[in-house]
Structure 1
Amino acid sequence: MDGTHLFELVIAMFLAIIVLHYIAHRLGLPPSVALLAGGALLAFVPGLPAISVDPELVLVIFLPPLLLDGAWSIAVDRLKRHVFGIASLAIGAVVFTTVVVAAVVHLLMPSLPWAACAALGAIVSPPDAVSARAVLERVHLPRRLQILLEGESLLNDASGLVLFRFAVAAAAGETFSPINAFGTFFFLAIGGAVVGAAVGFIWVKLVRRLGDEYLMIAATAILSWTAYLLGEQLHVSGVIATVTAGLIASWHQHTVLSAATRMRGTSFWNVLVFLMEAMVFILIGLSLRNVVERGGGFNALIESMALPAAAILITLVATRFLWILGSDLIIRLFHTLGTARSAPMGGGGVTVLGWAGMRGVVTLALALSLPQDFPGRDFILVMAFAVILGTVLIQGTTLGRIISWVGLGDVETERAPMTMSEAERSMAQVQLVTVQNLAYDDDGELIHPQLLRRYEQRVRASINYAEETERYSPLLHAHFDVVLEAVAAGRHELIRLHRAGQIDDETLRELERDLDLEELSAISAKA
């Protein structure tokens, strides 16, 4: 396929994304389901060339920005608060699932070497960040469950990748050592965190000096790929590097990015992430054709692969439930003894958390990256695709109903030390003091009365300005200079409250957005 045809295919994919999203909206389906099904149907359109997905290229293009977006928007305070729960899911659940799936596959396929069984277990064990985001953005969960799922999806890919590499190495004849595996994972994780921290702080220093908002947005856009590629080049975890860089950038973006940069950058990033997420599911669907052809057609696949696929799907769900239930029972025990900070999730939380385990692009990419001569490669590829289809189509479409069924849809389990209204009042008080200090001249005369009666005098001020521009222009400029000072004071107060742990990330972002809009309005009015 030449460059022109490739570009035409990309444009056709964008058009398909729009159509499929519209269909999903009309039918009330998760967009990921419509995109996956639509891509699978498109794969068999007569005359359309077969799509061959390069797994390394897919991971490099799509995974870093989607991980960065997740790290950018995650609530850091809750991430720290639930770090042990997230680690339990991102590491413990992945290892447990890999072992159990490997044992089940070996029972089903005794001729398949243990290393190949472990490779399949590692491929299907980590829930996917893209799939989780695509479903979670359409449902309302208690904040604790939301942060557990978001944190897990950001970090579990690193665990799955390490286990996968050891399984492939074992299949090639290398000896496996649990101690070496733990040491390697520790090195990859710590090394990735160090690389990500370095890249993140370099980004902070860089954007402070760029000055131009478009350069800042461009620097932020390439941050994810820089961290990921540098981590991979240094043979540490590119996933951990990207997440760490994203967390650091997210923490400092409130002070290093201007209001205009933040507003425009958010709009740009939302569109980019929307297209990337949609293209991932389209590509997964388009890959179905190669899977079916390698398996000998639909009939042959169903006859030979349906039972193993169903068994692996059931095993994945069961092992996740067992791990989460066991963890919750341990938390309940320590909570009863008074040694645990977190309360147990209860049956509803366990049910929702256990059911939310969709797989996606990482599972497919790992399966496709297996060497051509790897034992049972075609079987593993078919099973990986069946897991993606099963979890997205079954769990993705029913998660909302499960949440409603267990009664968690409108539950708020955590609150910040200060509510949004309290934070807004604190911000407004600081702004008022700033306006009072700046609204009077040296003789004590009020020179900015419209600031004290903003809405009543807005129309009158606009009329006066239109009629006597030369007279009112200096006063109007001074007026909005005070507005900008008040906005800066309010933002400083919000950041102080956030850094002191008195408000959470959601409160900070909601009130900061209001300040950004007020600042942009004042700048526009001055111009």
Structure 2
Amino acid sequence: MDFVHLFQLTIAMILAMIVLHYLAHRAGLPPPVALIVGGATLAFAPGLSSFPINPELVLVLFLPPLLMDSAWVIALGQLKRHTIGIAALAVGAVLFTTLVVAVVAHLLVPSLPWAACAALGAVVAPPDAVSARAVLERVKLPRRLRILLEGESLLNDATGLVLFRFAITAGITGQFSAGAAIGQFVLLAVGGAVIGSIVGYTWVKLARRLDDEYLIIAATSLLSWIAYLLAERVHVSGVIATVTTGLIVSWHAHTVISASARMRGGSFWDTMIFLIEAGVFMLIGLSLRGVIERAGGLGPIIETMGVPSLAILAAITAARFAWMFASDAIILACRRIGLTRHAPIGPRASTVLSWAGVRGVVTLALALSVPDAFPGHDFILVAASVVILGTVLLQATTFNRVIAWARLSEAPSEKPPLTMHEAEAAMAQVQLAIVERNAYDADGKLVHPQLLDRYQRRASASINYAARPDHYSPMLHAHFDLVLAAVAIGRAELIRLHRAGEIDDDTLHELERDLDLEELGALSAKS
């Protein structure tokens, strides 16, 4: 495939992604489902040659920015609070699932060496960060469950990658040492955290010195790849390095980046992440053609690998359920003997967490990177594809229903954070305090009456609204509906003046920006 053809295919993919995402939104389906089906349809389109997918490129291109984005928005305080629970999922659950899948695969396909069974387990064990984001952004979960899933998706890829590399090495060399594997895992994790910290704090110092917001945006956009590639270059965990960098950048971004850079950079980053996420699921669909061709056609796959692959899908689902319910039972037993630091989440919440194990880009990339001569290569590739399709088509589409069935609520022991309206009231009061202190000159004469009046009214309105949001909400919406109407008529007049030649382009863009900011503020206040 030449470069022009590849570029044309890329443009076609982006157009397909936009159309499929729109159709999924209109049909009320999870976008990953539509994108995978669309990618598979595109892959088998007449006249289209097989689409080559480089697994190393897939990981390097897609995983770092998606991990960075997840780390950017995660609640760091909650992450620290639930470290043990997240580690149990990101490390314990992945190890347990790998073991279960290896045993099931060896029972179903006795000719498959244990190293190949372990490699298959490592491929399908870690739930995917991309898929987790796609699922979580469409649902509402209690904060504890959300942070557990978000934290798991940030860190479990590192566990899966390490297990996979050890399994492949054992399969090729015939040598494996559990002690060496554990030591290597710790070294990779610590080394990744060190590299991530260096990259993150270097960015903090650089951002404080850069005056050009476009340079800051460009530098920030490259951070995820810099951290990942640098860590992999020195043979430590690129996943841990990227997550560490993302957490550091997220913590300091509020103080070292200007408001304008945050707004411009946020819009650019959100668009890039949208395209990357959609591209991942399209690639999963596109890869199906290569999997089927490699295995000799759909018929032989169903005949020789269909039942074992479905059994692997059932095994990873059962393993996750077993781990969740066993972990909750252990916590409950600990509380009964007086160890009350952690509270169980209960069977309904355990069911929800168990059903959230959607697989995606990491499973795809690892399966594609299995060496051609490795034992069970074709079976690993087919089983991984079945697991991805099964979890996306089954779990992602029904996750809303499982949550609705569970009827979950916030744990009473957790202190709820301030609502947005309460936070607005708190900000309005401190803003009013500084205006009141500086509204008078040295002789006590009021020199900023309009400013003082505006902040007094804002503070009063914020306090009243926070106390009775249901009562004031209709009035607030009516107020900002009128603001939006005024913005719209103002924009129409601005365009008329420009079209009539009464103002130049500079005036148009300057006043249009003011109207855009006013409109965004009104829309934000209404939401």
TM-score above 0.5: yes
2:208 is aligned with 1:208: yes
Deviation digits for residues 135-167 of structure 1, max 9, x if unmatched? Answer: 111111111111100100110011011111111
The aligned residue for residue 339 of structure 1 is 339
Residues 1:403 and 1:234: Cα distance change in structure 2 (over 3 Å): same
Q: Is the 8 A contact 1:321 1:351 kept in 2?
A: yes
- Give, in angstroms, the shift of residue 325 of structure 1: 0.6
Q: C-alpha distance in 2, partners of 1:228/1:392?
A: 27
Given the two structures, how large is their TM-score scaled by the length of structure 1? 0.85
Instruction: Give matches, 1:295-374, under 5 Å.
Output: 295-374=295-374
Residues 1:457 and 1:126: Cα distance change in structure 2 (over 3 Å): closer
- Give, in angstroms, the shift of residue 342 of structure 1: 2.7
Q: C-alpha distance in 1, partners of 2:104/2:372?
A: 24
Deviation digits for residues 324-344 of structure 1, max 9, x if unmatched? Answer: 111101111222334232321
Instruction: Give matches, 1:376-395, under 5 Å.
Output: 376-395=376-395
Code of the aligned partner of 2:343: A
2:175 is aligned with 1:175: yes
The aligned residue for residue 439 of structure 2 is 439
Code of the aligned partner of 2:132: A
- Give, in angstroms, the shift of residue 454 of structure 1: 2.5
Q: Is the 8 A contact 2:435 2:455 kept in 1?
A: no
The aligned residue for residue 227 of structure 1 is 227
Q: C-alpha distance in 1, partners of 2:22/2:438?
A: 51
Q: Is the 8 A contact 2:432 2:455 kept in 1?
A: no
Deviation digits for residues 368-420 of structure 1, max 9, x if unmatched? Answer: 11111101101111111111000111111011111101112x65664346554
The aligned residue for residue 485 of structure 1 is none
The aligned residue for residue 407 of structure 1 is 407
Residues 1:250 and 1:318: Cα distance change in structure 2 (over 3 Å): same
Q: C-alpha distance in 2, partners of 1:419/1:333?
A: 35
- Give, in angstroms, the shift of residue 298 of structure 1: 1.5
1:358 counterpart SS class: coil
Deviation digits for residues 162-193 of structure 1, max 9, x if unmatched? Answer: 11111111111242111111100000000000
What are structure 2's unaligned runs of at least 5 residues?
Answer: 459-516, 522-527
Instruction: Give matches, 1:477-496, under 5 Å.
Output: none
Q: C-alpha distance in 1, partners of 2:135/2:202?
A: 33
The aligned residue for residue 465 of structure 2 is none
The aligned residue for residue 154 of structure 1 is 154
2:175 counterpart SS class: coil
Code of the aligned partner of 1:170: A
Residues 1:37 and 1:411: Cα distance change in structure 2 (over 3 Å): farther
Q: C-alpha distance in 1, partners of 2:340/2:272?
A: 41
1:442 counterpart SS class: coil
Q: C-alpha distance in 2, partners of 1:447/1:138?
A: 50
1:373 counterpart SS class: coil
Residues 1:443 and 1:88: Cα distance change in structure 2 (over 3 Å): same
Q: Is the 8 A contact 1:130 1:277 kept in 2?
A: yes
Deviation digits for residues 263-299 of structure 1, max 9, x if unmatched? Answer: 1111111111000000000011001001111112112
2:173 counterpart SS class: coil
Q: C-alpha distance in 1, partners of 2:123/2:226?
A: 25
Instruction: Give matches, 1:72-151, under 5 Å.
Output: 72-151=72-151
Q: C-alpha distance in 2, partners of 1:336/1:212?
A: 58
- Give, in angstroms, the shift of residue 92 of structure 1: 0.4
Identity among equivalent pairs (%): 66
The aligned residue for residue 192 of structure 1 is 192
2:43 is aligned with 1:21: no
Q: C-alpha distance in 2, partners of 1:447/1:23?
A: 57
Q: C-alpha distance in 1, partners of 2:417/2:44?
A: 55
Q: C-alpha distance in 2, partners of 1:218/1:157?
A: 26
The aligned residue for residue 252 of structure 1 is 252
- Give, in angstroms, the shift of residue 302 of structure 1: 1.3
The aligned residue for residue 238 of structure 1 is 238
Code of the aligned partner of 2:97: T
Residues 1:412 and 1:29: Cα distance change in structure 2 (over 3 Å): farther
Q: Is the 8 A contact 1:128 1:157 kept in 2?
A: yes
Deviation digits for residues 218-261 of structure 1, max 9, x if unmatched? Answer: 11100100100000001000000000000000011111111111
Deviation digits for residues 25-72 of structure 1, max 9, x if unmatched? Answer: 121100011001110111100011211100001110100000000000
Q: C-alpha distance in 1, partners of 2:259/2:240?
A: 29
Q: C-alpha distance in 2, partners of 1:33/1:423?
A: 38
Residues 1:366 and 1:185: Cα distance change in structure 2 (over 3 Å): same
Deviation digits for residues 472-526 of structure 1, max 9, x if unmatched? Answer: xxxxxxxxxxxxxxxxxxxxxxxxxxxxxxxxxxxxxxxxxxxxx79x99xxxxx
Q: C-alpha distance in 1, partners of 2:455/2:419?
A: 26
The aligned residue for residue 270 of structure 2 is 270
Residues 1:457 and 1:201: Cα distance change in structure 2 (over 3 Å): closer
- Name the Cα RMSD after superposition: 2.1
- Give, in angstroms, the shift of residue 23 of structure 1: 1.2
1:24 counterpart SS class: helix
Residues 1:443 and 1:60: Cα distance change in structure 2 (over 3 Å): same
Code of the aligned partner of 2:255: T
Q: C-alpha distance in 1, partners of 2:333/2:452?
A: 57
Q: C-alpha distance in 2, partners of 1:428/1:278?
A: 40
2:159 counterpart SS class: helix
Code of the aligned partner of 2:186: F
Further displaced range: 214-223 or 334-343:
334-343
Q: C-alpha distance in 2, partners of 1:297/1:390?
A: 19
Q: Is the 8 A contact 2:29 2:397 kept in 1?
A: yes
1:172 counterpart SS class: helix
Residues 1:19 and 1:327: Cα distance change in structure 2 (over 3 Å): same
Q: C-alpha distance in 2, partners of 1:241/1:336?
A: 39
- Give, in angstroms, the shift of residue 445 of structure 1: 1.7
Further displaced range: 228-237 or 435-444:
435-444
1:151 counterpart SS class: helix
- Give, in angstroms, the shift of residue 421 of structure 1: 4.4
Q: C-alpha distance in 1, partners of 2:410/2:89?
A: 22
The aligned residue for residue 428 of structure 1 is 428
Code of the aligned partner of 1:198: I
Q: C-alpha distance in 1, partners of 2:208/2:456?
A: 39
1:287 counterpart SS class: helix
Q: C-alpha distance in 1, partners of 2:12/2:342?
A: 49
Q: Is the 8 A contact 1:450 1:457 kept in 2?
A: no
Q: Is the 8 A contact 1:64 1:242 kept in 2?
A: yes
Q: C-alpha distance in 2, partners of 1:185/1:336?
A: 34
The aligned residue for residue 508 of structure 2 is none
The aligned residue for residue 397 of structure 1 is 397
